[in-house]
Chains A and B, each alone.
Chain A
Amino acid sequence: MWRAGFGCTWSEARKISRDGLDAAVNALLAPRPAPDRPPCAAPPEESDRAFRERIERLENEEERGRLSNERRKTEREHIEDLQFWWLQRMVATGLPPEQHGPLIEKLALFWHGHFASSFEDKIERVFPLWQQNQTWRRLALAPFPKLLDACIRDPAMLVWLDNAESHAGHPNENLARELMELFSTGVGPYEEKDVQESARALTGYGVDRDDWSFHFRENQHDSDGKTFFGQTGKWDGGDIVRIICEQPATGRFVMRKLLEFFVMSQVQPETVETLGDEFRESGYDLTRFLGTLFRSEYFYSAAARVSVVKSPAVLAVGALKCMHAGLPAPEVLLSALRLMGQSLFFPPDVNGWPGGASWISSNTLLIRYNFANFLLHGVSPDEFKMFDREAAGSGAARREFIEKQRTDLAVAWHPKKQLKETGQLSRMATGGTLVDYYATRFLQRPLPPALERELLKFAETDAAGGRRSFSVNDANFDERVCDLVHLIMSSPEYQLC
C-alpha cells in the first residue's frame, strides 16, 4: 500500500488482509469520478485581460504597482490552499468504492512530476495549475498517448514552456524539445531537425488568457509539410504525439520512470526494455500493466522490497494516514514539505523531482527525521530549535519549557482514545504488543530484529530512566506512544517503501 498509495490506515490494512490481494488490486484500479473543484482554485472573477486593461487606465503608477502586487499576493496565498487541498485529498484516500482510491492520487503525483510545470516564474496563477492537476487525475490510468496529447494542449504547460506565443515563421522550440527529451523518448533517438520540425507542428497551440482554456490559433499554425522521425506530412501536434508514441524509446523511457516510481530506485536495463516494449505494444495500457505488476512476484521480490525512497509527499501523507487523526495546520505541513524538497506545484524545473537518492541530503534527512515532532507537537520547522528537550533541564523548568511548546497547530492524535474506540486497548498489555502494533502500523513487515529490539528497549524505559514497561494505565500513555512513533519515523526503514 505504501508503493501503490500512501500507506494505509489500520482499517484499510484489515480489509486488505481479509479480502486478499486480488480484491485490493481490483479496487485500486477501479475508476472513480473526479473530485469537485477545490474552493481556492476558481479563476479570479476578473480575468487577467480585464485586470490589465483596468490598471492600465490608472494614472497613478504607485497605485498600479500596488494592485498588481496585491493580485500576485492573492494568487500566492491561494496556491498554498491548493497544495494543502491536494495533500488533504491524498490523506483522505481509502479503498474504493467507499472512498476515492490512493492509486489515482499517486498517479496524479507521478504525472505531476513527469509533466512538471511550476507556479513560479511564468504561470503564477492557481487556476491553470488546478486545471492541469485535474487532467492528470482524470487521465491517471489512461494510455500514455492520451496524456501526451493532453500535455500539448494544457494551458499551464503551453505557458510554462513558452509555446503560447509560438507562431509560424518563428516557432519556439522549448515545448517541442522537452516533449521528447523529458516527457517521452528521452535524449538520444531524435535529432535537432526533429525538434525544429515538431516545433513547427506545435505553432498556434495557444491559450485564451481570459479563461485559461486551450486555444488553437489557426492563422499562426504552420500547416506546411514537415519531416519528423523520417515521416513526412502536414503534421500537427496530434500527429507528432502519434509518431512519438510509435518509437520504442518512448515505451522504455516511460516504463523506466514508472518502475523507478513504483518498484525500485535502480531498475535493470533489460527489465526496462522488455516491459517497455510490451507496454508500447499493448497500446500503453496502464491499467493492465499495473494490474499485472501489483500481482507479480517481481513487485514483492527481495530486490524490490523497501528500495524506493519515499518522496516527501508520500512520507508526510503516509504518516498522517497511519495516525488517522486528521491534518496539522497548513503552515506546519507545507513548510515541512518545502524543507524536505517537495513543494507541490513548485517542481525545481521542467525535469520534475529527480527522486530516488536525491531526496536524501543532510538537510532534508534531518527534516524528515524531525517530522514526527512537527506533526505531533505542532512546531513549525522554522522554529524547532526551541524544541530541544534534551537540553531542557529537569524539574519545574522542564515542565514549563514543555508546556510552552504545546500549540494548536499539531495533529490531534489521541492514541489511547483511538485504541479504545477500535476495541484494541485490552490487547495492549505489554511493551512488546505496543511496539509490534505501532511498528506494523507505520512500517512494512518483517521488522528488522535490531530495530525491534531498540524500540522495545524504549517501550521498557520508564520516565525516571528505570526499566519498567509503559502501560495503558500510565497517565502519559499518549505522550509515550508519540515518542515511540517519533523514533519509528526517525529510522532509516521508515524512509523507504
Chain B
Amino acid sequence: MISRRQFLKHSARGLTLVAAGTYVPAFLARTARAATPDKDGNILVVIQLSGGNDGLNTVVPFADDLYYQARPSLGLAADATLKIDAHSGLHPAFAPLKAEFDAGHFSIVQNVGYPNPNRSHFKSMEIWHTGSPGLSQNRGWLGRYFDAQCSGVAPRERNGRIGVSFGKVMPQALRNDANVGLALDDPDTFQWNASGETLALAREQKAIFERINAPGGAASFDTLASLGGVGSEPAALDFLRHTALNAIGAGDDIRAILRKQKNEGPYPDSQLASQLGMISRLISGDFPARVYYASQGGFDTHANQPESHRRLLGDLSSSLSAFLKDLRQHRQHDRVIVMAFSEFGRRVAENGSTGTDHGAAAPVFLFGEKVKGGLHGPPPDLANLIDGDVRHTVDFRQVYTTLLEDWLRTPARGIFPERFEKISLI
C-alpha cells in the first residue's frame, strides 16, 4: 500500500510540470505544500519564557549559603525542593517534570548567557532572538536557518522548511529573507473571508478571489525583479500571489489537521497548554514544519514573586509534561526536542518587595527522548558575580550551535559568523 507520504512526494514531482502553466488549481498547490523531502526530520519546539525567569529559584543551589544570605525571604529551603543532586533541587512546582528528569529526558544547561549582559527586556530578547549581540541584525537565528535551508529552492518547494509560531506577531527569531514561516494566534483567523450576503455570492466571491491570486510561474520577489518581471507584468504581483496562496493553503492545512488530530491525555487550561496542544496535533498530523515557537509571559517578577513564580512554573511544567506524554502516545517523541529559554535570569539578591530585579545568566532547559538528560555545568558561582548577577559560563550560541548541528543537521557556520563550541547535549 502506498503511504500518504510517498503519494505526496510523487505528486510533488508531477506538479513541477503543472506549475509551469499559468494557473495551479488550489487543491494541487495544497498537495505540493504538504510534500517535502524532510518530513520525517527532527523538530525543534522553542518555548520563550518572557520577562526573565528566576533561574536561581527554578534550579535551586541549596548547598550554597550565599543563596540564603542573598534571599532571606525568597530562598527555598533544601527540603522544599525536588533534589536532583547534592547541590541542586528543582522548584516544587516542577514536580510533573521531575519524572522526565529522572528518566533522562530533561537536560539543564547551567549559567547560560552572553558577554556584557544587557538588562533591558527588549534588547536582551533581541540578542537571544538574533543571536548577535552588538550587531544590527534583522533576521533571527532560526530565520537564518530557514534561509540556509531555502537557498536555491523554488518558493513553492520551500514550505516544508517553514516554522510556525503561535502568537500575533512573528518572533524576531524566525524572521527570514525567504519569506517562509507562519505566525498564528488562532488558526481560525488564518483565512480569507468572503463577504457575500448569500451563500452563492460568497462562494462566487471566494472562487474569484482564488483566481485573481493564482500564481503564474514559480519565482521569488528578488529573482523576478532582476529578470524584469514575467512578460509585461510587474514582478511583485507574482510574489504577492504566491504569498497569498501559501498563507491560505497553509491555513487550510493547519485547520484540517487540527480538526482531524486528537490530543492524547489531559492538558491543563492555559494559553501555553493550548499552544503546545496544537503543536502536538500538527506534528502527529505530519504538518511539515521543522520549528515551532510557543511562549509564556509573566516572568518579570519584581514584586510578590513566590506566588506568581509558583503559578508560572506550575503552568510550564504541567503543560510541558502533558505535551511530552502526548507525543509519546503518538510515537513522535523521538523526533522532537523542546528548548525553553528566557531573556535573562534575575538579580541574585532579592529586592525590597519580595521580588527580584533583572539579572544576567540563567539555566536553559531541553526536553526530549534524544537529549542527554541531567545537569550540564556547575551551579552558579554566587561568590563571583557580575554587578550582582550570575556570570555566564555557557554562551547561549553554544546551545544554538549544538541544536543546529546535532539536531537540525545544519552547519552553524552560515548562521553565526563566529564559531561556538558545542556542548554534549544530544
Q: Does B42 contact A (CB under 8 A)?
A: no
Q: Does B76 contact A (CB under 8 A)?
A: no
Cβ-defined contact, B199 with A362, below 8 A: no
Q: How far is the CA of A175 from the CA of B204 in the complex (A)?
A: 55
Q: Does A103 contact B (CB under 8 A)?
A: no
B126 nearest in chain A by CB position: A349
Counting chain A residues whose Cβ lies within 8 A of the other chain, the interface size class is 35 or more
Which residues of A are found within 8 Å of B353, using beta-carbon distances?
Answer: 61
| Closest chain A CB from B293 CB (angstroms) | 13
Q: Does B69 contact A (CB under 8 A)?
A: no
Quick one: which of B186, B196, B204, B221 contacts A357, CB cutoff 8 A?
B221
Q: How far is the CA of A486 from the CA of B205 in the complex (A)?
A: 9
Q: Does B272 contact A (CB under 8 A)?
A: no
The stretch from A19-27, A272-280, A380-388 touching chain B is: A380-388
Q: How far is the CA of A326 from the CA of B103 in the complex (A)?
A: 63
The stretch from A214-222, A363-371, A421-429 touching chain B is: A363-371
Cβ-defined contact, B204 with A465, below 8 A: yes
| Closest chain B CB from A111 CB (angstroms) | 20
Cβ-defined contact, A265 with B181, below 8 A: no
Cβ-defined contact, B243 with A394, below 8 A: no
Indicate whether A492 sits within 8 Å of B237 (C-beta atoms), given known contacts A458-B205, A464-B200, A487-B205: yes
Which residues of B are found within 8 Å of A17, using beta-carbon distances?
Answer: none
The stretch from B94-102, B206-214, B308-316, B339-347 touching chain A is: B206-214
| Closest chain A CB from B256 CB (angstroms) | 14
Which residues of B are found within 8 Å of A372, using beta-carbon distances?
Answer: 195
Could you say which of B126, B136, B170, B189 has the most chain A C-beta atoms within 10 Å of its C-beta? B189
Q: How far is the CA of A303 from the CA of B233 in the complex (A)?
A: 10
Cβ-defined contact, A487 with B212, below 8 A: yes
> What 1/0 mask marks residues of chain A from 479 to 497 whose CB sits below 8 Å from any chain B CB?
1001100110011110110
The stretch from B244-252, B277-285, B373-381 touching chain A is: B244-252
Q: Does B168 contact A (CB under 8 A)?
A: yes
Quick one: which of B120, B168, B236, B352 contacts A309, CB cutoff 8 A?
B236
Q: Does A210 contact B (CB under 8 A)?
A: no
B121 nearest in chain A by CB position: A121
Q: Does B197 contact A (CB under 8 A)?
A: yes
Q: Does B194 contact A (CB under 8 A)?
A: yes
Q: How far is the CA of A305 from the CA of B228 in the complex (A)?
A: 12
Q: Does B202 contact A (CB under 8 A)?
A: yes
Q: Does A373 contact B (CB under 8 A)?
A: yes
CB interface residues, B 142-171, toward A, < 8 Å = 168-170
Q: Does A287 contact B (CB under 8 A)?
A: no
| Closest chain B CB from A386 CB (angstroms) | 9
Which residues of A are found within 8 Å of B63, using beta-carbon distances?
Answer: none
Cβ-defined contact, A266 with B196, below 8 A: no
Quick one: which of A454, A461, A465, A483 contacts B211, CB cutoff 8 A?
A454
CB interface residues, A 127-170, toward B, < 8 Å = none
Cβ-defined contact, A360 with B202, below 8 A: no
Q: Does A337 contact B (CB under 8 A)?
A: no
Cβ-defined contact, B203 with A390, below 8 A: yes
A448 nearest in chain B by CB position: B233
Which residues of A are found within 8 Å of B243, using beta-carbon distances?
Answer: 360-362, 365
Which residues of B are found within 8 Å of A376, using beta-carbon distances?
Answer: 195
| Closest chain B CB from A476 CB (angstroms) | 6
Q: Does A331 contact B (CB under 8 A)?
A: no
Which residues of B are found within 8 Å of A309, using beta-carbon distances?
Answer: 236
CB interface residues, B 176-235, toward A, < 8 Å = 179, 181-184, 186, 188-206, 208-209, 211-213, 221, 225-226, 228, 232-235
Q: How far is the CA of A68 from the CA of B106 in the complex (A)?
A: 41
Cβ-defined contact, A490 with B225, below 8 A: no
Chain A binding site: helix, strand, loop or mixed by DSSP?
Answer: helix
Q: Does A441 contact B (CB under 8 A)?
A: no
Cβ-defined contact, B237 with A487, below 8 A: no
Q: Does A402 contact B (CB under 8 A)?
A: yes
Indicate whether A402 sits within 8 Å of B212 (C-beta atoms), given known contacts A351-B138, A363-B170, A366-B191: no
The tally of residues in B whose CB lies under 8 Å from a CB in A reads 62
Cβ-defined contact, B195 with A493, below 8 A: no
Q: Does A67 contact B (CB under 8 A)?
A: no
Quick one: which of A373, A393, A463 contacts B195, CB cutoff 8 A?
A373
> What 1/0 mask marks residues of chain A from 431 to 471 whose CB sits below 8 Å from any chain B CB?
00000000000000000101100110110010111000000
> What 1/0 mask marks residues of chain B from 98 to 120 whose CB sits below 8 Å from any chain A CB?
00000000000000000000001
Which residues of B are found within 8 Å of A61, using beta-carbon distances?
Answer: 352-353
B247 nearest in chain A by CB position: A362
Cβ-defined contact, B244 with A369, below 8 A: yes
Q: How far is the CA of A475 from the CA of B283 in the complex (A)?
A: 49
Cβ-defined contact, B196 with A121, below 8 A: no
Q: Does A181 contact B (CB under 8 A)?
A: yes
Cβ-defined contact, A387 with B199, below 8 A: no
| Closest chain A CB from B186 CB (angstroms) | 7
Which residues of A are found within 8 Å of B128, using beta-carbon distances?
Answer: none
Q: Does B239 contact A (CB under 8 A)?
A: yes
Cβ-defined contact, B234 with A490, below 8 A: no
A367 nearest in chain B by CB position: B189
Q: Does A233 contact B (CB under 8 A)?
A: no
B168 nearest in chain A by CB position: A339
Which residues of B are found within 8 Å of A121, using beta-carbon distances?
Answer: 120, 122
Cβ-defined contact, B195 with A491, below 8 A: no
Cβ-defined contact, A476 with B197, below 8 A: yes
CB interface residues, B 389-417, toward A, < 8 Å = none
Q: Does A307 contact B (CB under 8 A)?
A: yes
Which residues of B are found within 8 Å of A385, using beta-carbon distances?
Answer: 186, 188-189
Cβ-defined contact, A461 with B195, below 8 A: no
| Closest chain A CB from B93 CB (angstroms) | 26
Cβ-defined contact, A394 with B136, below 8 A: no
| Closest chain A CB from B142 CB (angstroms) | 15
Quick one: which of B232, B250, B303 contacts A362, CB cutoff 8 A?
B250
Q: Does A392 contact B (CB under 8 A)?
A: yes
Cβ-defined contact, B189 with A266, below 8 A: no
Q: Does B26 contact A (CB under 8 A)?
A: no
Chosen A-B contacts, 26 in total, with CB atoms closer than 8 Å, are A121-B120, A121-B122, A305-B234, A307-B235, A309-B236, A354-B138, A357-B236, A357-B239, A361-B170, A362-B181, A363-B169, A363-B182, A366-B248, A369-B244, A384-B189, A385-B189, A398-B198, A398-B199, A458-B204, A461-B201, A464-B198, A491-B212, A492-B237, A493-B237, A495-B236, A495-B240
Q: Which residues of A contact B (CB under 8 A)?
A: 61, 65, 120-121, 181, 265-266, 302-303, 305-307, 309, 339, 341, 349, 351, 354, 357, 360-363, 365-366, 369-370, 372-373, 376-377, 381, 384-385, 387-390, 392-394, 398, 402, 448, 450-451, 454-455, 457-458, 461, 463-465, 476, 479, 482-483, 486-487, 490-493, 495-496
Closest 10 CB pairs of A and B: A465-B200, A362-B247, A492-B240, A385-B188, A357-B221, A463-B198, A492-B237, A389-B202, A394-B199, A385-B189
